[in-house]
Amino acid sequence: MDSSSSSNADSRFSDSITDKKPADFQKKLIISMLLNIGIFIVEFLGGIFTNSLALISDSLHNLSDFLALLLSYFASRIVLWKSNSQKSFGYIRVEIFVAFVNAMALVLIGLYLIYEAIQRFSSPEPIAGGWMLLIAIFGFGANVIATLLLRAHRHHDLNIKSAYLHLLTDAMESLAVVVTAIMIMWWDWKILDPILSIAIGIFIIKSGWEIVSETVNILTEGTPRGIDLDEVAAFIQSFPGVVNIHHLHIWGISSRVRALSAHIVVQDQLISVGNKITSELEKELERRFGINHPTLQLESCICDEQGVVVDINIKDNSV
């Protein structure tokens, strides 16, 4: 690969991984953590006092939010650590790992809440609806504040997105608990308590599984969502000066860094001409597909192995 292509790609990659989040993000994250631990304490004790499984369910989800936000806080610090000889990509994948852990926690909590709710169907217990309503209103208000604090930052990366989804689901759950408490107060519909807990559990599992799926795709270096590998290959093949493309790989290093490597066949020509082709191609790949870390290997003849997608052959030297 030519030097200018490498330096241009490295420059864009460096910019993308050192793009710091807004200065007030970590401050808002700390406030959200304090709100969530406060909600957990009030709702958990309130759930025991009122005998409401829905309140206890909401409190446990808030506890998971606190832990998720704590992980997100440390991840937002670690991701800015500089690259070194042992970690040439830096620590940007910490974001993906934290998002995966957060999402798996959501799935497990959702399953636990559904299990507890099913147990409650067989042995319903009296619920103090009035106190349940007051505690639920407190939880809803605090959750709304915590959610709004991170709303503006939710598109920055998967780590923040997973934390934001934790808070958003909690706010919705707290509102549902408020409505349930009103119905229990007025009509004594105790059956709504475990029903709501099951609904909360299902919603938590769905939200968590979506992020699990996305993070696993990145960790297994799958083609990023929203990118059609064949479309990218066709675009490169049709680019002026390109004779052939093969050995194409596209993957996500993080939710904000998309990488590409490929062998590009061009006419036998001056290196400066090849530099111009790769430089213009890299700009178009970023503009059209959001690929901001391309590595293009120029060749003047086609390799023995053909095909846009070619298996990576590992030689066994032990024989």
Residue that has been written with the tokens 């030097």 in this structure: 3
pLDDT in tens, 235-276: 999 999 999 999 999 999 987 789 999 999 999 888 899 999
CA atoms within 13 A on the CB side of 21: 27
pTM over 0.85: no
CA atoms within 13 A on the CB side of 278: 30
Spatial strand order in the sheet of 244-252: 244-252, 258-265, 293-299
pLDDT in tens, 285-298: 999 999 999 999 99
| Number of alpha helices (DSSP H) and beta strands (DSSP E) in the chain | 9, 3
pLDDT in tens, 189-218: 889 999 998 988 898 898 889 889 999 999
Contacts of 239 (CB under 8 A, 6+ apart): 277, 280, 281, 284
- Name the helix (H) or strand (E) containing 241: none
Q: Which positions of the chain have pLDDT values less than 70?
A: 1-23, 154-159, 302-319
One-letter amino acid at 55 equals L
Catalogue all structural domains in the chain, each as residue range(s) with its CATH number.
Answer: 19-219 (1.20.1510.10), 229-299 (3.30.70.1350)
273/45 Cα distance (integer angstroms): 71
313/114 Cα distance (integer angstroms): 47
